[in-house]
Chains A and B, each alone.
Chain A
Amino acid sequence: MKTKSVLLALALLATATPCLADGEVNVYTSRKEALILPLFDRFTELSGIEVRILSANAGALISRLESEGRNSPADVLLTVDAGNLHRAREAGVLRTTTSAALESAIPTTYRDPEGYWFGLSQRARVIFRSTERVGADAIDSYADLADPTIKGSLCIRSSSNIYNQSLVASMIASDGEEATETWARGVVANMARPPQGGDTDQLRAVAAGACDLAVANTYYYGRLLGSDSEDDRAVGEQVAIVWPDQSGRGAHVNVSGAGITTHSPNPDNALALLEFLAGEEAQAWYAEMNHEFPVREGVAPTSVLASWGPFDADDINLSELGKHNAAAVRLMDRAGWR
Chain B
Amino acid sequence: MTVALASSLPRPGADDAVRWGVVAASVAGILALPTVAVVAVAASADGSAWRHLVSTVLGEYVWHSVLLALGVGTGTLVIGTTTAWLTTVCAFPGWRALSWLLLLPLALPAYIVAYTYTGVLDYPGPVQTALRDLFGWGPGDYWFPNIRSLPGAILVLTLCLYPYVYLLSRAAFVSRSASAIEVGRSLGLGPMAVFARIGLPLARPAVVTGVALVLMETLADYGTVKYFGVTTFTTGIFRTWFGMGDRAAAAQLATALLGLVLLLVLLERWSRRQRQFDDAGAAAAGTPYPLRGWRALAAAGWCALPLLLGFLVPALQLAWWCIDTFGEQWRRGFPELMGNSILAAGITAAIAVFLALLLGYGQRLRPVPTVRGAVRVAASGYAVPGTVIAVGVIIPLAWLDNSIDGLARELFGVSTGLLLSGTLVAVIFAYLVRFMSVGIQTMEAGLAAISTGVDDCARALGCAPKAVLGRVLLPLLRPSLLTAGLLVFVDVMKELPATLILRPFDFNTLAVRAYELAEDEQLAAAAPAALAIVIVGLVPVFLLARGITRERRHA
A residues apposed to B, CB below 8 Å? 3, 6-7, 10-11, 13-15, 17-19, 26, 32-34, 52-61, 63-64, 67-73, 87, 90, 158-160, 162, 165, 193-201, 204-205, 207-210, 220, 229, 231, 235, 325-326, 329-330, 333-334, 338
- 5 extra interchain contacts, Cβ-Cβ under 8 A, other than A57-B500, A326-B244, A333-B57? A60-B390, A68-B398, A196-B227, A205-B123, A235-B124
Partner of A71 from B123, B244, B405, B500 at Cβ < 8 Å: B405
B10 proximal to A (CB < 8 A): no
Q: Is the CB of A64 within 8 A of B229?
A: no
Residues from chain B with a CB closer than 8 A to the CB of A52 are 505-506
Chain A residue, CB-CB nearest to B499? A56
B52 proximal to A (CB < 8 A): yes
Q: Is the CB of A10 within 8 A of B501?
A: no
Residues from chain B with a CB closer than 8 A to the CB of A204 are 122-124
- Of the stretches B301-309, B420-428, B435-443, the one at the interface is B420-428
Partner of B423 from A3, A10, A34 at Cβ < 8 Å: A10
Q: Is the CB of B516 within 8 A of A73?
A: no
Q: Is the CB of A11 within 8 A of B425?
A: yes
Chain B residue, CB-CB nearest to A56? B500
Q: Is the CB of A3 within 8 A of B350?
A: yes
B residues apposed to A, CB below 8 Å? 52, 56-57, 118, 122-124, 138-140, 146, 148-149, 227-229, 231, 235, 238-239, 241-247, 324, 347, 350-351, 354, 387, 390-391, 394-395, 398-399, 401-402, 405, 415-425, 428, 497, 500-506, 508, 512, 516-517, 519-521, 524
Chain B residue, CB-CB nearest to A201? B521
Q: Is the CB of B148 within 8 A of A26?
A: no
A205–B394 Cα distance when bound, in Å, is: 40
Q: Is the CB of A63 within 8 A of B229?
A: no
Partner of B139 from A208, A231, A338 at Cβ < 8 Å: A208
A178 to B: closest C-beta gap in Å: 17
Q: Is the CB of B501 within 8 A of A11?
A: no
19 intermolecular pairs with C-beta atoms under 8 Å apart? A7-B425, A10-B425, A10-B428, A11-B420, A14-B425, A17-B504, A34-B517, A54-B506, A60-B500, A64-B422, A68-B401, A87-B245, A160-B235, A196-B148, A197-B118, A201-B521, A207-B124, A208-B123, A338-B229
Using known A-B contacts A3-B350, A158-B229, determine if residue A71 contacts B402 with beta carbons closer than 8 Å: yes
Chain A residue, CB-CB nearest to B520? A32
Q: Is the CB of A63 within 8 A of B247?
A: yes
Partner of B422 from A32, A73, A90, A210 at Cβ < 8 Å: A73
Q: Is the CB of B521 within 8 A of A14?
A: no
A25 to B: closest C-beta gap in Å: 11
Partner of B244 from A26, A68, A205, A330 at Cβ < 8 Å: A330
A205–B421 Cα distance when bound, in Å, is: 43
Q: Is the CB of B424 within 8 A of A10?
A: yes
A133 to B: closest C-beta gap in Å: 9
Residues from chain B with a CB closer than 8 A to the CB of A67 are 394-395, 398-399, 421
Q: Is the CB of A64 within 8 A of B124?
A: no
Q: Is the CB of A208 within 8 A of B521?
A: no
A325 to B: closest C-beta gap in Å: 7
A220–B521 Cα distance when bound, in Å, is: 9
Residues from chain B with a CB closer than 8 A to the CB of A209 are 123, 138-140
Q: Is the CB of A13 within 8 A of B424?
A: yes
Residues from chain A with a CB closer than 8 A to the CB of B235 are 160
Using known A-B contacts A63-B394, A210-B123, determine if residue A325 contacts B245 with beta carbons closer than 8 Å: yes
Residues from chain A with a CB closer than 8 A to the CB of B347 are 6, 10
Using known A-B contacts A55-B516, A69-B398, determine if residue A64 contacts B148 with beta carbons closer than 8 Å: no
Residues from chain A with a CB closer than 8 A to the CB of B390 are 60
Q: Is the CB of A11 within 8 A of B419?
A: yes
A17–B504 Cα distance when bound, in Å, is: 9
Between A19, A73, A160, A326, the greatest number of chain B beta carbons within 10 A of the residue's beta carbon is seen for A160
Chain B residue, CB-CB nearest to A330? B52
Q: Is the CB of B419 within 8 A of A14?
A: yes
Q: Is the CB of A60 within 8 A of B422?
A: no
Residues from chain A with a CB closer than 8 A to the CB of B428 are 10
Q: Is the CB of B242 within 8 A of A57?
A: yes
Partner of A68 from B118, B149, B418, B517 at Cβ < 8 Å: B418
Using known A-B contacts A57-B242, A64-B501, A160-B238, determine if residue A17 contacts B423 with beta carbons closer than 8 Å: yes
Chain B residue, CB-CB nearest to A91? B245
Between B350, B401, B521, the greatest number of chain A beta carbons within 10 A of the residue's beta carbon is seen for B521
A58–B241 Cα distance when bound, in Å, is: 11
A207–B387 Cα distance when bound, in Å, is: 35
A327 to B: closest C-beta gap in Å: 10
A127–B391 Cα distance when bound, in Å, is: 37
Smallest CB-CB A-B distances: 6 pairs: A209-B139, A196-B229, A59-B242, A14-B423, A67-B398, A200-B521
A87 to B: closest C-beta gap in Å: 5
Using known A-B contacts A71-B418, A160-B235, A205-B123, determine if residue A59 contacts B241 with beta carbons closer than 8 Å: yes
B107 to A: closest C-beta gap in Å: 25
Residues from chain A with a CB closer than 8 A to the CB of B149 are 194
Using known A-B contacts A59-B245, A158-B229, determine if residue A18 contacts B140 with beta carbons closer than 8 Å: no
Between A52, A67, A90, the greatest number of chain B beta carbons within 10 A of the residue's beta carbon is seen for A67
A324–B422 Cα distance when bound, in Å, is: 32
Q: Is the CB of A71 within 8 A of B415?
A: yes
Q: Is the CB of A3 within 8 A of B351?
A: yes
A175 to B: closest C-beta gap in Å: 21
Partner of A60 from B138, B501, B512 at Cβ < 8 Å: B501
Q: Is the CB of A68 within 8 A of B422?
A: yes
Residues from chain A with a CB closer than 8 A to the CB of B402 are 69-71
Between B122, B146, B350, B391, the greatest number of chain A beta carbons within 10 A of the residue's beta carbon is seen for B122
Residues from chain A with a CB closer than 8 A to the CB of B228 are 196
A89–B461 Cα distance when bound, in Å, is: 68
Using known A-B contacts A204-B124, A334-B56, determine if residue A53 contacts B521 with beta carbons closer than 8 Å: no
Chain B residue, CB-CB nearest to A54? B505
Residues from chain A with a CB closer than 8 A to the CB of B399 are 67
